[in-house]
Amino acid sequence: MPIVTVERKILKKNDEIASENREIFSKNNIYTLNLLSSPGSGKTTLLEKTLSLLNKSLNVAVVEGDVQTDNDAQRIAVLNVPVVQIVTNGGCHLEAKLVQSAFQSFDIKNLDLLIIENVGNLVCPASYDLGENKKVVLLSTTEGDDKPLKYPSMFRVSDVMIINKIDLLEYVDFSVESVKKNALSINPELKIFEISCKTGEGIEDWIKWLKNEI
């Protein structure tokens, strides 16, 4: 079983570095979020909305992860938020070492919140601890309400689930109650928010929760 052995060694090393990250974050009172979703769910748009409401009251920095391009980092930089782009060149997830290298660019002694926007993927990132306080999984109403059943590991390790694009509910075959039921059957402790990044509905509840956490 050499493949399993290699995978365990990789995860063990990642967990060690994640512990180092967590210690650094804790020592410097930095609250850290790992934002996860499949491509197109609206992670970056949610991030833009969140930063526009938090940036005046908190010192925030962002680590962007993507397979190619720095498009998302450019969108965040417009908001005058410190941001570092990690391009994985095909890699389907961020690792703790990549995050550790990225946050060296920030003034961590004057940072309140670090948000890591992971690569769009509901499989690989579930296995990799980055040292964050909370994992936040985002899904949209255009994806189907069976996502938690198809990707249980992601929802099992997450602390928060955000249902985005609720403004499209009348146009899509998606049940909010079903997706909640499916997700809570896997992880009864999930905190759930229903939002629309387009209309702003539900965003205030998300921001209030986040401020209380910080």
- Is pTM beyond 0.75? Reply is yes
Compute the distance between CA of residue 179 and CA of residue 181 in angstroms, rounded to an integer. 5
Is the model's pLDDT at 13 over the cut of 50?
Answer: yes
Q: What is the pLDDT of residues 30-85, one digit of tens each?
A: 999 999 999 999 999 999 999 999 867 899 999 999 888 888 889 999 999 999 99
Position with higher pLDDT, 71 vs 111: 111
Question: Could you give the CA distance from residue 102 to residue 37 in angstroms, rounded to a whole number?
Answer: 21
Does position 113 have pLDDT exceeding 70, yes or no? yes
Q: What is the pLDDT of residue 70?
A: 84
Q: Distance (Å, rounded) from C-alpha 32 to C-alpha 116?
A: 8
φ/ψ of residue 34, rounded to 5: -110, 110
User: What backbone torsions phi and psi does residue 38 show, to the nearest 5 degrees?
Assistant: -80, 165
Domains and CATH numbers, the chain: 2-213 (3.40.50.300)
Question: Band of the pLDDT at 5, cuts 50, 70, 90?
Answer: very low
Each residue's pLDDT tens digit, 145-204: 999 999 999 999 999 999 999 999 999 999 999 999 999 999 999 999 999 999 999 999
Quote the CA–CA distance of 60 and 53 in Å, as a whole number. Answer: 11
Q: Which residues contact 110 (CB under 8 A, 6 or more apart)?
A: 59
Taking residues 115-133, what's their average pLDDT?
95
Q: What is the pLDDT of residue 55?
A: 62
The DSSP call for residue 164 is E
> What radius of gyration, in Å, describes the C-alpha atoms of the chain?
17
Q: Report in angstroms the alpha-carbon separations of 111 from 21, 57, 103.
A: 14, 12, 11
Structure-token pair, residue 146? 């069976």
Q: How does 128-149 read in b/e, with b if 16+ C-beta sit within 10 Å?
A: bbbbbbebbbbbbbebbbebbe
